[in-house]
Amino acid sequence: MINYGLAGRVVAVTGGASGIGLASAHLLARDGARIAILDLNADGIAAAVAAIRAVGGTAEGFEVDVRDETSVGHVGAAVAARLGPAYGLVACAGVSGAAPSADLPLEELNRVLSVNSIGMFLTCQAFGRQMLANGGGAIVAISSVAGFGGQSARLPYVTSKFAVNGIVKTLAVEWARHNVRVNAVAPTFVDTPMIHAHVPKPFIDAIFDRTPMGRGAQPDEIAAPVAFLLSDAARLVTGAIVPVDAGLTAGFLTRGKGADLASQRLLAAGTYTEA
């Protein structure tokens, strides 16, 4: 296993009871980090903490609504009291949603932005204050490939991830002189409960056909880049939005998992076939 050099460091993980957050918490705990699991799901928090402790890791659970500034502030203080001041934050809490833009209710836009963007900022602010006071730290937010371009009927989610990218870059500029690094990973579709609940399989299959590696990601494949960005190996990396997408955003004229060579001459020569 790769050693990320995080032993003894306190890392808070929002959305840590499932999906990418849970996978990140497990990987960071195996590396020796002291993990604070932050989530709304009390049962999920208890299960995540128990699983980490069962393999010798250190974890504490904290129930929090990232949309609530007061709640986030209290949890930040509680994490510092029980585990120590935070060195790192993985801002992973998020929700999805879909509606045609012409019929989009304002409350739906607010619902998604309040978690994915405002909630992300509030947690960065609360834990960033600890890092600023202690002379350094690292934050990794979970963005998305949806933060690189528009997508029909998903204005709230797309907007929220563009906002995440803007928050990351602004905090990176503002806090760099204090040795606090702020980055994001932008995953492709990840095999999580949220994806299965909200995205139809034919759409996912079409995306994978346009992905050079021909597939999406497992949560642990996102957790590893998160750990790298938290580690001292990335000590000169800040303000980056890192695609972890199997090549999806490398090019927009991709079909057949990169096998469609888009050339009449090559097609006529039998180099490949239109299937």
Residue at token pair 């979970």: 142
- Identify the structural domains of the chain with CATH numbers, from first to last: 10-202+216-246 (3.40.50.720)
pLDDT tens digit sequence for 59-105:
999 999 999 999 999 999 999 999 999 999 999 999 998 899 999 99
- Give catalytic status of residue 157 as yes or no: yes
Phi–psi pair at 153, nearest 5 degrees = 65, 15
Catalytic residue chosen out of the listed positions 4, 87, 157, 272: 157
Q: Is the pTM of this model over 0.75?
A: yes
Block mean pLDDT (10 aa), the chain, length 275? 94 97 98 98 98 98 98 98 98 93 96 98 98 98 96 95 98 98 96 80 88 94 98 98 96 84 85 78
